[in-house]
Amino acid sequence: MPPVTPPAAKSAESHPSPDNPSPAVTKFITQEARRLSGIDPDPEATRRRLNAWAREVDARGSQDLGAVVLDEDRDQDERFLAAFLLGLVPDDHAVEVLRKVALEPFHGRPMGEKHGDRLRAIEVQVRAAAIEGLARHRQSVEARTALETAAKAHEDQFLSDRAQRALHEWRTGERVEEQDRKALGKALTR
């Protein structure tokens, strides 16, 4: 499959509103989500391809990715991939969009119903990806502030915990995965 042109190279495309992602971003997200849903014969090549694509994303591309993430009617794999890619975009525009996604309220998703619980889980997953994306922007004061806000006041305890662990990693260098491993070990020995 030929590589898809990054959104920065498609600046001539029309954008009727910030909530309407460009066709280039939509096409890339749809294709990559499909590719990633199967067995990946070369995960390292996939990682390099996604990183290279994210490095080319401009401010408009970050907004486009954010529109995909926040579109509750879009496929959950596409939304998660867009949030993940935003975390790889190395500029401040992505940080602003990640902050918006991470702190976005759940809009009253129904709880207690099987369907509602599944929808809520999807919303938690995309926000967790945004929090992890913010954690990759260690030099950004805005990313730190967003993580601190999420850690203190997020309506979801899991997301608050993810933000706290990201901040702990920044302070101590102990990776979130290692923190999780230690917490699991403690829970299993009780």
User: Per-residue pLDDT tens for 25-78?
Assistant: 999 999 999 999 889 899 999 999 999 999 999 999 999 999 999 998 899 999
* Domain parsing of the chain, residue ranges: 7-138
Indicate whether this model's pTM tops 0.85. Answer: no
Are 50 and 90 in contact by the 8 Å Cβ rule? The answer is no
d(CA 105, CA 46): 32
**Mean pLDDT, the chain, integer:** 85
Whether the per-residue pLDDT at 16 is higher than 50: the answer is: no
Query: Nearest-CA neighbor of 20 among 94, 86, 74?
Result: 74
Report which residue type is found at 132.
E
User: Per-residue pLDDT tens for 142-153?
Assistant: 999 999 999 998
Q: Say what the pLDDT of residue 64 is.
A: 96
Q: Say what the pLDDT of residue 10 is.
A: 43
Query: Nearest-CA neighbor of 125 among 135, 117, 115, 137?
Result: 117
d(CA 93, CA 137): 11
Q: Say what the pLDDT of residue 154 is.
A: 86
Residues 6+ apart with CB under 8 A from 75: 30, 33
Are 118 and 132 in contact by the 8 Å Cβ rule? The answer is no
Q: Say what the pLDDT of residue 107 is.
A: 67
Mean pLDDT of 145-173: 92
